[in-house]
Structure 1
Amino acid sequence: MTIARDRAALLFANETFYRAFAERDVTLMGALWADAEPITCLHPGWPPIEGRDSVLQSWHAILAGPASPDIECLHARAGIHGDTGIAICYERIGPDYLLATNIFIRSGEGWLMVHHQSGAAPDPEEDVPAPRRRLN
């Protein structure tokens, strides 16, 4: 696979994560996370969550809850380091922005998530990447 195709596949996996979030699709969210590797998640304002069952329970609580936020992924950038892919992007939730790091591993099924972290961020208009800017 070429570097450009690999990066496109990684960005597609990242977009799929945000589609699952936006559509509150618990099944799709579960399919995105690795099941043979340790996984972690740091939701804003929550303590660290470790282990597939706990991480997926946290997503179920967020997606099925009455206050599940509308979310949009903006300015995603991807870098690949061997069989590890890192996507960073802004998350727009209402008028607020978060900055997220999503870490994936390459598997036979494509890119699977092993870590998600998001936290407060400045307005992304202060950090709009050039069209061809890459992490690596």
Structure 2
Amino acid sequence: MSEVSDIIAANAAFYTAFAAGDFAALAALWADQETISCIHPGWPAIVGRMSVIGSWREILNNPGRPQIVCAEPYAIVDGDHGRVICIELVDGAPLAATNYFRHIDGAWRLVHHQSSAIAQFAAGADDPTEHGRSIH
């Protein structure tokens, strides 16, 4: 597999673990470092392995947790760092998400996750694709 295929596979494993409610698999995908971070929609920034992993445990233990599907993943790899930019469909509503990875001991491990609502562009607003690549 190429680096891009490998990081896309790691990203897919993250969403598969979430969908299955598999906390152990989800936690294993994160780097074992105190410098990891996460920003869930509407939450403040979370830093540190215990806090980040705890936030995922809390979400997975919630019986009303949303269904999340990753769409349109786009990988950017730069040496031992990479990120996947995608659309998260959260109970059908689109969010923009970025999952940052580091290649550690032969595997891509998450070091940061962030997702947020996608703003609706008003009629006549600048085309967001004019200034760079758009994934929608």
TM-score of the two chains, using structure 1 as the length reference: 0.85
Q: Which ranges of structure 2 fall in alignment gaps of 5 or more residues? A: 121-128
Partners of 1:109 and 1:60 in 2: CA distance = 26
Partners of 1:47 and 1:36 in 2: CA distance = 20
* Aligned equivalent of 1:120: 117
Of 36, 49, 65 in structure 2, the residue corresponding to residue 52 of structure 1 is 49
Which secondary structure does the structure 2 equivalent of 1:16 belong to?
Answer: helix
1:36 CA displacement: 3.3
* Aligned equivalent of 1:67: 64
Structure 1 residue runs of 4 or more that deviate by more than 4 Å after TM superposition: 126-129
Amino acid at match of 2:117: A
Amino acid at match of 2:15: Y
When the two chains are superposed, the root-mean-square deviation of aligned CA atoms in Å is 1.8
* Aligned equivalent of 2:23: 26
In the alignment, is the contact (CA less than 8 A) between 1:106 and 1:112 conserved in 2?
A: yes
Which secondary structure does the structure 2 equivalent of 1:115 belong to?
Answer: strand
Which secondary structure does the structure 2 equivalent of 1:46 belong to?
Answer: coil
1:66 CA displacement: 1.4
In the alignment, is the contact (CA less than 8 A) between 2:86 and 2:135 conserved in 1?
A: no
1:41 pairs with 2:38: yes
In the alignment, is the contact (CA less than 8 A) between 2:87 and 2:96 conserved in 1?
A: yes
In the alignment, is the contact (CA less than 8 A) between 2:34 and 2:47 conserved in 1?
A: no
Spell out, residue by residue over 1:12-54, the C-alpha distance to the aligned partner (whole angstroms, 9 max, x if none): 0000000011111100011000003510000000010000000
Structure index of larger Rg = 2
Of 58, 68, 87 in structure 1, the residue corresponding to residue 84 of structure 2 is 87
TM-score of the two chains, using structure 2 as the length reference: 0.85
Amino acid at match of 1:113: L
Q: Which ranges of structure 1 fall in alignment gaps of 5 or more residues? A: 130-136
Residues matched between the structures, number: 124
In the alignment, is the contact (CA less than 8 A) between 1:43 and 1:117 conserved in 2?
A: yes
